[in-house]
Amino acid sequence: MTEVNRLDGRRPSDHATTEWTSRVVGCGSALPERRMTNHEIAAMVDSSDEWIVQRTGIRERRIAADGENTSDLAIGAATSALKQAGIRGSDVDLVVLATCTPDRTMPATAVRVQAALGMTGGVAFDVQAVCSGFVFALSVADNMIRLGQARTAVVIGAETMSRIIDWKDRNSCVLFGDGAGAVVLRAESRTGGPRKGILSTHLHSDGRHQDKIYTDGGTSSTQTAGKVHLEGREVFLHAVVNLASASQEALTANGLTLENLDWVVPHQANQRIIQTLGEKLHLPPEKIVLTVDHHGNTSAASIPLALAEAVADGRIKENDLVLTPAMGSGFTWGAALIRW
- How many angstroms separate the CA atoms of 240 and 235, rounded? 9
Nearest 5 degrees, angle CA 182-CA 240-CA 141?
30
| Cis amide prior to 107 (ω within 30 degrees) | yes
Q: Where are the beta strands (DSSP E) in the chain?
A: 20-30, 34-37, 60-63, 94-98, 123-127, 152-160, 178-189, 197-205, 213-215, 228-230, 263-264, 321-328, 332-339
**58 vs 273: CA distance, rounded Å:** 12
Q: Is the dihedral of CA 240, 241, 245, 246 positive or negative?
A: negative
Q: Which of 209, 238, 267, 295 is catalytic?
A: 267
238: annotated active-site residue: no
Angle at 193 between CA 188 and CA 195, to 5 degrees: 50
The CA distances from residue 7 to 87, 105, 186, 187, in Å, are 15, 31, 11, 10
Task: Identify whether 295 is a catalytic site residue.
Answer: no
Q: Which of 131, 173, 238, 242 is catalytic?
A: 131
Catalytic annotation on 27? no
27 vs 184: CA distance, rounded Å: 6
In order of 71, 101, 108, 182, 335, the CA distances from 67 in angstroms are: 11, 14, 18, 21, 33
Active-site residues: which are they? 131, 267, 297
